[in-house]
Chains A and B, each alone.
Chain A
Amino acid sequence: MKIKVVEPVLKANRVMAEEIRRYLGSKGVKLINILGSPGAGKTQFIKRTLQQLENKEIIGVIEGDISTTFDAEELVSLGVEIVQINTKGACHLDARMIKQALEQMRLDGKKVLFVENVGNLVCPAEFPLGEDLRILVLSLTEGLHKPLKYPLAFRTSQVLILNKSDLLPHLDVNPAVIREEALSINNQMKIFQLSSLTGEGFSNWMDYFQNYLSTL
């Protein structure tokens, strides 16, 4: 006999992600999930965003890594509250890990939680964490055609950061091609080309982020 099922394989994660979104919503907090390949510059992007923000106390950071605490240590000096998750081998964060991390995070007075996902363009895209906004950090050194190779990550992110623009003179990469490919996958995507290292182009992103914060 054949039994019709039609059940999403990752339903359990989605249900928990939705619970997290509702719980954070009741506390007036939004979660921002930051995805990208290893070395795309996710930590530097968070660091510069925090450095340019006057009211840092409204931000908390959840750092996801397979192992080590280097990224969390890099952000400690900025004076924001950080909770580290070590996935012990898993290549992505899931909603259950976020739920556990939230038990250690003070939410009073916070408006936004940045979650730095494990460096990977494949699996993290499949696992919503209860986010209000998903940001994909792609460095220009990663070359062309990433939107077509990893469509889910681009389809599910609302913001694309084209990072390391300071290296463009040394690269055989045309950012216009990446933009065009990204928009062909997701035509609603907001795209910011910048350098988290030198700060060039960062003001456009900060204007967008300040505007996002003002709506919360």
Chain B
Amino acid sequence: MAENIVKIALNVMKEHSLKKINKINIKVGEMSCINEDSLQFAFGILAKENGLENVDLHIIRENKLFDIYVESIEGEK
């Protein structure tokens, strides 16, 4: 899960020629069984390994949603 978030972020970074990513907003369904602490922990390690330092993974919980998706990415050109 964390690996895919990093992959999506790196793709967006390349497509939009971003120099830096500050924040990744992900939407997570209330019923998706995602453990936020585990996801933050794994994301922290993988992001660092892939050169994404100090990125805030912002998790937005959404009622009735079963899915998890990257909603938006905030960064600098």
Give the interface of A toward B (CB within 8 A): 1-12, 122-123, 125-126, 150-153, 155-156
A122-B33, A126-B32, A152-B31 known; A12 and B73 CB under 8 Å? no
Residue in contact with B75 in the complex, picked from A3, A122, A123, A125, CB distance below 8 Å: A3
A126-B33, A151-B31 known; A10 and B68 CB under 8 Å? yes
Closest B residue to A149 using CB positions: B33
- Interface size class of chain B, counting residues whose CB lies under 8 Å from the partner chain: 20 to 34
Roughly how many angstroms separate A3 CA and B8 CA in the complex, as a whole number? 12
Query: In the complex, which residues of chain B have a beta carbon less than 8 angstroms from the beta carbon of A156?
Result: 66
A1-B75, A3-B16 known; A9 and B70 CB under 8 Å? yes
Closest A residue to B73 using CB positions: A3
Query: In the complex, which residues of chain B have a beta carbon less than 8 angstroms from the beta carbon of A7?
Result: 8, 69-70
Query: In the complex, which residues of chain B have a beta carbon less than 8 angstroms from the beta carbon of A126?
Result: 1, 32-33, 68
Q: Would you call B33 and A1 a contact (CB within 8 A)?
A: no
Roughly how many angstroms separate A2 CA and B76 CA in the complex, as a whole number? 9
Q: Give the number of A-B contacts (CB < 8 Å).
A: 67
6 new A-B contacts, CB < 8 A, other than A8-B69, A125-B33, are A7-B69, A12-B4, A152-B31, A152-B32, A152-B33, A155-B31
Q: Would you call B8 and A9 a contact (CB within 8 A)?
A: yes
Residue in contact with A6 in the complex, picked from B4, B71, B74, CB distance below 8 Å: B71
**Which of B8, B16, B18, B74 has the most chain A CB atoms closer than 10 A to its own CB?**
B8
Query: In the complex, which residues of chain B have a beta carbon less than 8 angstroms from the beta carbon of A152?
Result: 31-33, 66
Residue in contact with A5 in the complex, picked from B1, B12, B18, B33, CB distance below 8 Å: B12
Chain A interface, DSSP helix/strand/loop, else mixed: mixed
Minimum CB–CB distance from A16 to chain B (whole Å) comes to 13
Closest B residue to A5 using CB positions: B70
Q: Would you call A4 and B69 a contact (CB within 8 A)?
A: no
Roughly how many angstroms separate A123 CA and B38 CA in the complex, as a whole number? 13
Q: Would you call B31 and A5 a contact (CB within 8 A)?
A: no
List the 3 closest pairs (A to B, CB-CB), nearest first: A151-B31, A8-B69, A5-B70
Roughly how many angstroms separate A75 CA and B1 CA in the complex, as a whole number? 33
Q: Would you call A3 and B69 a contact (CB within 8 A)?
A: no
Minimum CB–CB distance from B27 to chain A (whole Å) comes to 9
Minimum CB–CB distance from B55 to chain A (whole Å) comes to 14
